[in-house]
Structure 1
Amino acid sequence: MTRRRTVAGLAAALLVLAGSLVPGRAAADTAPRRIVNGWLPYWTMAESLTSVTGNADLWGEASPFWYRATGAATISAQAGAGDPAVVDALRSRGIKVVPTVTEALTAPAMAALLTAPAQRAAHVTALVDLVTTHGYDGIDLDYETMNTAGTATDKAAVRSGFVTLLRELKPALAAQGRLLSVTVGPRTRADDPNWAVFDYAGIGPSADRFRIMTYDYHWRGGSPGAVAPLPWVNTVLTYAVSAVTRDKIEIGLPLYGYDWPADPSQPDGYGTATSRNYQQAEALRLQYGAVRQWSGTDAAPWFTYTDTAGVPHVVWYNDADATTAKMTLVEKYGVRGLAFWAVGFEDVRQWPVLRSYAVQKSTELTVSAATAIVHGTTLTVSGRLTTTAGAAVSGHQVVLQWRRAGTTAWATVATGSSSSTGAVSLRYAPGANGAFRLSAPSSWAYLAAVSAPVTTIVRWCVSAALQHATVPRGATVRLTGKVAPVRAGTPVRRQRYADGAWTTVASTTVGSGGTYGFSFTWRTAGTYTYRVVVPGTSVNAAGYSAAVRLRVT
């Protein structure tokens, strides 16, 4: 399940790139986040570089496949390694250059290297010297051969020794301000026998980038099927985020597939597959008039054809739809981004989709609420969350915040989500005058939004009742009630309505229980109308009781 290639590079084609590189694009709302990294094979460098630079706004780092470790202190260069035209093309577009180093040592040889302190130290020195000599931004270790050959004991030694190597390499690179990227095989649990040389939890603390090769589930030497079936990728990521800090993880996405020829002599009926990139697969499909099929379960396309020799074939590959189905895993798992193997011959329709996904869209949030309520009333605050283009943003968290009059701090008092139309409705019973606003925190897809504040005054809640609505002349009248919120000593005024106006005729204060009382007498028969008023303060607006009628006989 290795992805090594032995084809000669196209380094000579790089000479024509200096005047033909495509500038990176910008998105409408903001520049997209640089969520894409990946590998540039030396044997397809011209095509790979054109692809990367043409979509530079999405790329954070690029890893030319340039070096191979053949011993503790020996690192050989592949064709075109260190080419300044490549480095300059990437750097000029804001892309960091983090070359990949593979290794030629199987498990027994690597175990011997990793368990010998002197050899480990020599290897650390060789790697750091490689980075600093060429001025790279870091290095990517893609050590896969060490998972081959040898015994379980050899691989156990590699597993622990590799963690030790990285612990020694990390500070040496960090001291030079360089990144350490580690590429690992896909594992679904800590005791997964596959790729057992990679201890996720042990590697994680030393790695700045943790790239997982979530592909080759079905491979050239196995039965036909999706290269990176979605359920399996989910399983790998579920384990990975439990062992490694999420913001270090990059999801490996394949831009290739396999073409399996039928072979009745094999147990599964198929022979060894040929690797096909997207363009090759599509060319085959069109050549033989095959119909593209889609596996919704696997999130991958496939088709069958019969070649000119009469041999049936089945082809599973990856296109823009496959990339689209997996790119959302970045948000789902909260990881750093994607790592493509390998760019240059992909379905170019994937780039606009990725660009749209990588842009956090601007949002707007409106708000409305009653301008005045009586204390104790639960207020409904409404609003709507949309993009700046007016499209509804649904299912997004929105919080209701309140600020008491005379203060500057906003407190969250309720939380909810926007509806399918972007509508928001949250409830709260404020105890004092203040202001409300709605706030939508940022997410993967959207930038944060805060509404304008809306002021609501809260009136004293005042009740008033006569002990007797009808009394004889000269009898004592009792007018009592309650005031909320309870604040002992709050002034209360009794007012009488006469000649078209309210006139204050007596005052008292609220007791510790929030109650008040007035006692008075009338010697003149008639009908009299009263109300009780609590004057407004900076905390609560003036409150009025309902009018009460007294009949004096």
Structure 2
Amino acid sequence: MANARRKFLSLVAVAALFLPLISAPVSAADNPPRKIMTGWVPYYSMKTALPDVLNNIDLIKEVMPFWYTLKFNGKTKETFIADLYAPANPSVPIAEPLAAMRNAGLSIIPTITDGTDKLVLAGLLKNPTSRTQIVNAVMNLVRTNNYDGIDLDFEGFAFVDGNGTWTSTAPSWVAFVKELSAALHAENKLLSVSTPYVLNPNDAQKGYFVYAWAQIASSIDKLRIMTYDYSVAKVGPLGPITWAERTVQYAVSIMPASKVFVGVPGYGRDWVTAVTGVCPANVVNTIKVGAKAATFVMRDAQALAATYGAVPTYDEKFGEMTFSYQKVYNGVTATGLSTSCTASRTAWYQDARGWALRAALVTKYRIGGITAWTFGMEEPLAMESIRQVAKAIAPDQVNVTAAIDKSTIEYGNPITVTATFTIKDKSPVVGVPVRIEGKSAGDSNWRTLATVTTGIDGKIEKAVLVGKSTAVRVYSDSTWERSEGVSSEFPITVNRLLVVAAPGTMKAQGSTSITGNIRPRTAGASVQVEKLVGKEWKPLDQVVLTDAQGNFSLTLAGQQRGVASFRVTVASDSLWNVVTSPIFNIIVR
């Protein structure tokens, strides 16, 4: 196990070494490629999938760790989310791949599959109580790991429950998506759904309409269409390009195109089409016409074909590669007699050309991107083909120069934020909505402090109130034409506002009161008066606590005649620095 862990970490380290080489533009004049690639990182292939992601970080903005499944305990009648990663990777704590992905700047949106039995999940979603329990379980997973969102891959509706249940399941699915979406969005998290294809309900063929795209469109942030497995039981292409485009067309007609991602397979299928002779007992049930197709990964396709003297050819109609070959199986029958059979086989898969063809849908419809099942299966040229498409549609890079007028303020006083938005040729970015955002210690997400729009010179200026010490940045969302604009972060220290009222005179050996308050108004803050003795400030014995309104009253007594200098100090705590009032003098008579 220790050796496996070392190999895994070595792969991550090696992949990291290549990041500067891959992410750098070809020339200074080129914009970096548009990040149109997403995909899954399965728990069972971390050694190949994660390094593949890190080696192609210039194309990838987000990933979906395929690590979790929803389960139902029949005895306790409770749902829970099972961790698939830990049992498969006992020597590599989950924190390590998460750190690698976060350090690469990736958004992490893990996938949850349906691990329940037939019709169980459909029944749970029909019940408002159990539906909310599932929402709570998902939210707990997201919060515990600080994920950027969640991806739902509930394929049981489509492939297990039967299409006779779809009409009754769809409303429950929609209600669940809306409830989960509200919970996630309240915490600035994303909701992604991955489903088989759906087509226009007015067409004769409607696809897997149980997923009700039109009804969930406003609630989801990402739709990942599984435009593969078109041919499973029968020989044929995995995802014909015309079929894939048809479902994309429907998706972009009912939701913003930027939410839509078209799926590409990193695997191929290999079917038996004919058999001559009598096959050995150990393969007789699998080497026959109609048997389940074998699978292979794209990067092995050429070697598989070459082994049997086949030459893959590109099918223009379907946008995929195919080849046929014969394979001989030798062995013995169930009775021990020597036997042999010859199977004719046909394989289909998508290669670099097929992936590029589907990436072209990103350009044509301005959709969010493509989604690979899974990272680490493809041949190297496939990623390069995506890179060429992504470079051709690279957005203008937005540069943000920002500044603040003060880095330390008292509570209740504003700071002024200024910024200039330009593209590479120094042209101003005009009329762009801009968010001034803040993030305090302990926060996991940026929050909006103010909004403003750039002027004709690409500039903004805005006074902003900050209620506590925080980091501030200026941000504009990406569009098809432009990249996101993100400024440097500026730390702002906010000190308590301390107001003190003290008398100008007092009687010797008498007493007087020094009153005041702190803002924000907080109970329990420690307040003490200090006296200047020689060149040192000496605290007087009395320490008082502020009340619920932030008020305090200190008693000053036993002072000798003369002019004495004092100040009031409020002690620091977990949220606030120590704050000291201006010096004030009292004449003691």
Decide whether aligned partners of structure 1 residues 92 and 104 sit closer, same or farther in structure 2, where only a CA change above 3 A counts: same
Corresponding residue of 1:320: 352
CA 1:151 to 1:285, structure 2 compared with 1: closer, same or farther past 3 Å? closer
- The answer to whether the aligner puts 1:205 opposite 2:225 as a matched pair is no
Is the Cα contact below 8 Å between 2:33 and 2:387 reproduced in 1?
A: yes
Match of 2:102 among 91, 97, 103: 91
Instruction: Compare 146-155 and 63-72 and name the one that shifted more.
Output: 146-155
Partner of 1:69: 70
Q: Is the 8 A contact 1:63 1:100 kept in 2?
A: yes
Task: Please say if residues 191 and 221 of structure 2, whose CA atoms lie closer than 8 Å, have aligned partners that are also in contact.
Answer: yes
Q: Check conservation: 1:264, 1:270, Cα contact below 8 A.
A: no
Between the aligned partners of 1:13 and 1:183, the Cα distance in structure 2 is: 31
1:302 maps to 2:302: no
Give the structure with higher Rg (CA): 1
Matched, 1:27 2:25: yes
Matched letter for residue 230 of structure 2:
Y
Cα deviation for residue 287 of structure 1 reads: 1.0
Distance 2:201 2:117 in 1: 22
1:136 match: secondary structure = coil
Indicate the SS of the match to 2:140.
Answer: helix
Q: Distance in 1 between matches of 2:158 and 2:395?
A: 47
Inter-partner Cα distance in structure 2 for 1:322 and 1:50:
23
Deviations 1:118-162 (A, max 9, x none): 101100000000011011111111110132444656332321111
Cα separation, 2, equivalents of 1:65 and 1:362: 30
**Judging changes above 3 Å, is the alpha-carbon distance between structure 1 residues 229 and 73 closer, same or farther for their aligned structure 2 residues?**
same
Once the 2 structures are TM-superposed, how far is the Cα of residue 269 of structure 1 from its aligned partner?
A: 4.6
Report the secondary structure of 2:79's partner residue: coil
Q: Please, which moves more after superposition, 241-250 or 54-63?
A: 241-250
Correspondence for 1:223: 234
Question: Where do 5+ consecutive residues of structure 2 fail to align?
Answer: 73-77, 277-285, 330-341, 397-424, 426-455, 457-477, 484-589
Q: Deviations over 1:290-339 (max 9, x none)?
A: 11111001111111111133211101011101111111101111211111
One-letter identity of the residue aligned with 1:87: L
Distance 1:203 1:48 in 2: 30
Distance between the aligned counterparts of 2:162 and 2:298, measured in 1?
A: 37
Going from structure 1 to structure 2, the CA distance change for 1:443 and 1:112 (only over 3 Å counts) comes to: closer
Distance 1:13 1:205 in 2: 44
The match for 2:84 is 78
Flag structure 1 segments of 5+ consecutive residues without an equivalent. Answer: 1-9, 364-387, 389-408, 410-441, 448-553
- Give the 5 Å matches for 1:245-284: 245-263=256-274, 269-284=289-304
> Closer, same or farther in 2 for the Cα pair 1:212/1:152, shift >3 Å?
closer
Q: Aligned equivalents of 2:273 and 2:5: distance in 1?
A: 36
In the TM superposition, residue 174 of structure 1 has moved relative to its aligned partner by: 1.4
Task: Determine the C-alpha separation between the residues in 1 that align with 2:129 and 2:297.
Answer: 42
Structure 2 CA distance for aligned equivalents of residues 155 and 108 of structure 1 = 11
Once the two structures are TM-superposed, the CA of residue 194 in structure 1 deviates from its matched residue by 3.7
- 8 A Cα contact 1:111 1:155, kept in partner: no
Using a 3 Å threshold, how does the CA distance of structure 1 residues 188 and 140 change in structure 2: closer, same or farther? same
Given that 2:68 and 2:85 are in contact with CA atoms closer than 8 Å, whether structure 1 keeps it comes out as no
* Aligned equivalents of 1:42, 1:323: Cα separation in 2: 24
Structure 2 CA distance, aligned partners of 1:152 and 1:334?
Answer: 32
Query: 2: CA distance between counterparts of 1:298 and 1:13?
Result: 39
**Contact preservation (8 Å) 2:34, 2:395:** no
Q: Post-superposition shift, 1:212?
A: 0.5
Q: What's the CA shift string for 1:437-477, capped at 9, x where partnerless?
A: xxxxx997999xxxxxxxxxxxxxxxxxxxxxxxxxxxxxx
* Shift in alpha-carbon separation, 1:114–1:11, aligned structure 2, 3 A: farther
Deviation per CA, 1:381-403: give whole Å up to 9, x if none: xxxxxxx9xxxxxxxxxxxxxxx
Shift of 1:190: 2.3
Question: In the TM superposition, what is the alpha-carbon distance from 1:19 to its structure 2 partner?
Answer: 2.4
Q: How do residues 160-175 of structure 1 correspond to structure 2 at under 5 angstroms?
A: 160-175=171-186
Please report how far the alpha carbon of residue 264 of structure 1 lies from its aligned counterpart in structure 2 after TM superposition: 5.7
Structure 1 CA distance, aligned partners of 2:123 and 2:221? 26
Structure-2 residue corresponding to 1:374? none
User: Secondary structure in 2 aligned to 1:311?
Assistant: strand
Counterparts of residues 118-517 of structure 1 (less than 5 Å)? 118-150=129-161, 154-190=165-201, 192=205, 194-219=207-232, 222-263=233-274, 269-309=289-329, 310-359=342-391, 360=393
- 2:57 corresponds to which letter in structure 1? A
> Closer, same or farther in 2 for the Cα pair 1:151/1:262, shift >3 Å?
closer
Q: Are the aligned partners of 1:262 and 1:271 in contact in 2 as well (CA < 8 Å)?
A: no
The answer (yes or no) to whether the contact 2:124–2:130 under 8 Å persists in 1 is yes
8 Å CA contact retained: 1:100, 1:139? yes
Q: Given the superposition, is the C-alpha separation of residues 162 and 312 from structure 1 closer, same or farther in structure 2, using an over 3 Å criterion?
A: same
Q: Is the 8 A contact 1:255 1:278 kept in 2?
A: yes
Mapped to 2, the partners of 1:157 and 1:129 lie a distance apart of 28
Provide the C-alpha distance between the structure 2 equivalents of 1:229 and 1:276, rounded to a whole number of angstroms: 18
For residues 325 and 162 of structure 1, the distance between their equivalents in structure 2, rounded to whole angstroms, comes to 33
CA contact 1:11–1:42 (8 Å) conserved in 2? no
Which amino acid counterpart does residue 15 of structure 1 have in structure 2?
A: L
2:274 touches 2:345 (CA, 8 Å); kept in 1?
Answer: no
CA spacing shift, 1:179–1:362, aligned 2, 3 Å? closer
Task: Provide the identity percentage.
Answer: 30
**Aligned-residue offset at 1:79:** 2.7
1:88, CA displacement in angstroms?
1.4
Give the Å deviation of 1:91: 1.3
TM-score normalised according to structure 2 size:
0.57
Check whether the contact 2:125–2:172 (CA below 8 A) recurs between aligned residues: yes
**CA offset digits 1:226-270 (Å, max 9, x no partner):** 10111111111121112222110011111111011134699x954
Partner of 1:51: 52
Distance 1:46 1:132 in 2: 27
Distance 1:197 1:107, change over 3 A: farther
Greater alpha carbon shift after TM alignment, 72-81 vs 197-206: 72-81
